A and B are shown apart, each in its own frame.
Chain A
């Protein structure tokens, strides 16, 4: 069974940093591209970042470019999102999701990030 479990969310002050993790199991992690998607409270989905299976190709949404860094460790079956210079508008539930034919066919349960003083 495919499982994606996010962790690392919490309360952080504006300008602070946080590192999210996503532990994958039930599939060959190193064979799949992965994504981060977020959802602000009461709002819609926003795609955040993409990383290919070998980490050779990475994309970011304009809203996080230069502040967030996606990475992965295939030996540890883990996906990461380093978030720096956090703003109030980054407050959201962050989901990791597995890529399949340009669609996201498996999602984690999400981890809440709250940016507030």
Chain B
């Protein structure tokens, strides 16, 4: 079983749609959680951190459920520029002090 699992998609949605991505992680001791965005043939870039209380950044809302080991990302009013791969990422500040990435979910927003 992978440490971080995501639905690979692809998700093809019309402009203006709301789309949600889900992610589960296996290490219950994981401490920090992030969503990264990766454009085609580019490096991953931090989109937002994910907090237990849930957090919002404009059209983006992230949720964390530690009991279920589940993370989500909601994008409202999708824009063409939101087309990218969204990577779910967990961080464990233990002996293996590293970010662990999911395989990513591909989103295409259609005009």
Bound pair: A and B? no
A residues contacting B by CB (< 8 A) are: none
